[in-house]
Amino acid sequence: MPQSPGSQRVCFLLHLKPDRVDDYLAAHEHVWPEMLDALRAAGWHNYSLFVRPEDGLVIGYLETPDFAAAQQGMAATEVNAKWQAGMAQFFDNDGAHPDETMRPLTEYFHLA
């Protein structure tokens, strides 16, 4: 599917505690409907998460008109605060919520 005009592709990495990968995956079997609604409303589209189970590497991908605005939109929601607090146990981020540690990778090639 082609990317929407005025949209940017964002790819980021996160790191799970390797011994918590299975628990993290289980927590995502039923993402709260209000969390999904908040993501959509904040501009998160084509959002996917991938994991490498052997070491807990998580790769995230999404498309959005403005990633900073999409992050701010989610940060302003109560459901995100609750979700991030629950997910923090799976990451080794020195107390930071996982969404606060997302740093986009630099896209250097794209074949449309």
**Residue with structure tokens 């609604």?**
37
Known catalytic residues?
A: 28
Distance in angstroms (rounded) separating the CA atoms of residues 89 and 37: 23
Cα dihedral 86, 92, 96, 98 sign: negative
